[in-house]
Amino acid sequence: MEVKKVVVGALEENCYILEKDNTCLVVDPGADYQKIKDVIGDKKVLGVLITHSHYDHIGALRNFLTKRSVKIFKKSNLEEKEYKIGDFTFECIYTPGHSKDSVTFYFKEENIMFIGDFIFKESIGRTDLPGGDPIEMQDSIEKIKNYDKTITIYPGHYEESTLENEFKKNSFLI
């Protein structure tokens, strides 16, 4: 699987295009639909994965809703279990704290996670916004500690990291 990052919108949100063969998944289409579409090219979009519903992560979602063949994956229609769509297999993990509807998408075969605003490189997402909760954030951090430390994490903003790096350098996870 190839992962392409497209930085979009005024808050420079990371939208990711996950490609296999001639199909793709889109993670958090925050804004700038045309910019995202240019990266997708002629690949068939099978689904859109939403880590949480803050405006900077869903601004271009409406452009995908008009396509009947595109499945939308968000907390309101997900359970904590494994999902398969086309050649993509991922697990949904509830990780509230930054928002009530925060989820992490774990692609075990590729050893990667898309974590939205749950964890950033050497930081975590804010918990002082409506729906944020520092106790839920701590519970989510404890949950994520059970996963392989070599996993690469793709956050909703800034640079990628690994769980290992975060457990060593991120004061919120130590």
Task: Give the containing element (helix H, strand E) for 84.
Answer: strand 82-85
Q: pLDDT tens digits, residue range 71-108?
A: 999 999 999 999 999 999 999 999 999 999 999 999 99
Q: pLDDT tens digits, residue range 115-148?
A: 999 999 999 999 999 999 999 999 999 999 999 9
Q: pLDDT tens digits, residue range 22-47?
A: 999 999 999 999 999 999 999 999 99
Among candidates 112, 102, 95, 81, which has minimal Cα distance to 18?
112
Among candidates 32, 101, 31, which has minimal Cα distance to 59?
31
- CA gyration radius for the chain? 15
Least confident of 55-59, 67-71, 76-80: 67-71
Q: Which amino acid is at 139?
A: D
The model's pTM: 0.97
Q: What is the pLDDT of residue 50?
A: 98
Q: What is the pLDDT of residue 164?
A: 97
Largest CA-CA distance found in the chain, in angstroms, rounded: 44
Q: What is the pLDDT of residue 69?
A: 85
Q: What is the pLDDT of residue 108?
A: 98
Phi first, then psi, for residue 57 (nearest 5°) are -110, -10
Domains of the chain: 2-169 (3.60.15.10)
CA geometry: angle 118, 108, 23, nearest 5 deg:
95
Q: What b/e sequence results for 90-126 when a residue is b if at least 16 CB atoms lie within 10 Å of its CB, and e otherwise?
A: bebbbbbbbbebbbbbbbeebebbbbbbbbbbbbbbe
Residue 66 has pLDDT above 90, yes or no: no
Find all residues with CB under 8 Å of 47, minimum gap 6, and list them: 25, 26, 70, 71, 72, 73, 85, 88
